[in-house]
């Protein structure tokens, strides 16, 4: 059994998660349509979706296990294994690459002492490469959970790390759009 499998926990939905999923089921035309936001509900509680979370979705939404794993494995923002507390997904596709993504990645690697694709030993940070994040004109971009940071520079990436170390998730460019 791998180390990450050892760390896997059983999913027992909190009352908040249970009520969130119940509301989603009511809001969508079919139970199965609530799959993606229900995956987020589990992810927000656990940080990933363990096998027991899949079983919960199968029962709640009347979908097959294969359907849940199909969706979980298609989208890179969903996880089936425990992950670092902060997963920094830097877009390294062509537009962001041209705009300096490599320098941003290099700065993160230097400051965290790990390489792209690795996590820090304390489990606090991981750096991942991401394919296009859909903000090509605003690159280089970095996704942190539901937040998208745009026009990054090595200095801004370092600032982001400093804030996260202090427990602050700085307001991202996409948060601004949601608030406006």
For position 133 contacting ligand FES by CB under 6 A, the verdict is yes
> Alpha-carbon distance 86 to 41, whole Å?
18
> Of 34 and 91, which CB lies nearer to ligand FES in the complex structure?
91
For position 34 contacting ligand FES by CB under 6 A, the verdict is no
Q: Are 6 and 50 in contact (CB under 8 A)?
A: no
Q: Are 139 and 151 in contact (CB under 8 A)?
A: yes
Near ligand FES by CB under 6 A, which window of 23-31, 42-50, 133-141, 172-180?
133-141
Near ligand FES by CB under 6 A, which window of 27-35, 40-48, 121-129, 135-143?
135-143
For position 139 contacting ligand FES by CB under 6 A, the verdict is yes
Looking from the CA of 133 toward its CB, the CA atoms found within 13 Å total 29
Q: Determine which residue in the list 33, 83, 93, 120 makes contact with ligand FES, applying CB under 6 A.
A: 93
Q: Determine which residue in the list 21, 42, 57, 96 makes contact with ligand FES, applying CB under 6 A.
A: 96
For the bound state, the minimum distance from the C-beta of residue 98 to ligand FES, rounded and expressed in Å, comes to: 9
> Alpha-carbon distance 21 to 27, whole Å?
10
For position 141 contacting ligand FES by CB under 6 A, the verdict is yes
Residue 172 tokens, joined: 């991202």
Cα dist from 26 to 36, 42, 119, 162, whole Å: 14, 17, 39, 41
Residues within the interface to ligand FES (CB under 6 A): 91, 93-96, 132-136, 139, 141
């Amino acid at each position: 059994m791998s180390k990450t499998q050892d760390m896997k926990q059983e999913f027992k939905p909190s009352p908040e998660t249970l009520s969130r999923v119940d509301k989603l089921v009511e809001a969508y035309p079919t139970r199965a349509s609530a799959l993606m936001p229900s995956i987020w509900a589990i992810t927000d509680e656990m940080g990933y979706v363990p096998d027991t979370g899949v079983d919960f979705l199968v029962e709640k939404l009347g979908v097959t296990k294969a359907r849940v794993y199909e969706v979980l494995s298609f989208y890179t923002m969903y996880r089936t294994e425990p992950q670092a507390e902060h997963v920094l997904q830097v877009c390294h596709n062509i537009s962001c690459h041209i705009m300096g993504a490599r320098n941003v990645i290099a700065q993160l690697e230097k400051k965290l002492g790990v390489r792209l694709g690795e996590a820090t030993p304390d489990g606090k940070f991981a750096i991942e490469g991401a394919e296009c994040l859909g903000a090509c004109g605003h690159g280089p971009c970095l996704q942190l959970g539901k937040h998208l940071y745009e026009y990054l520079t090595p200095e801004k990436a370092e600032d982001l790390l400093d804030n996260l170390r202090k427990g602050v998730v700085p307001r991202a460019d996409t948060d601004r759009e949601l608030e406006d």
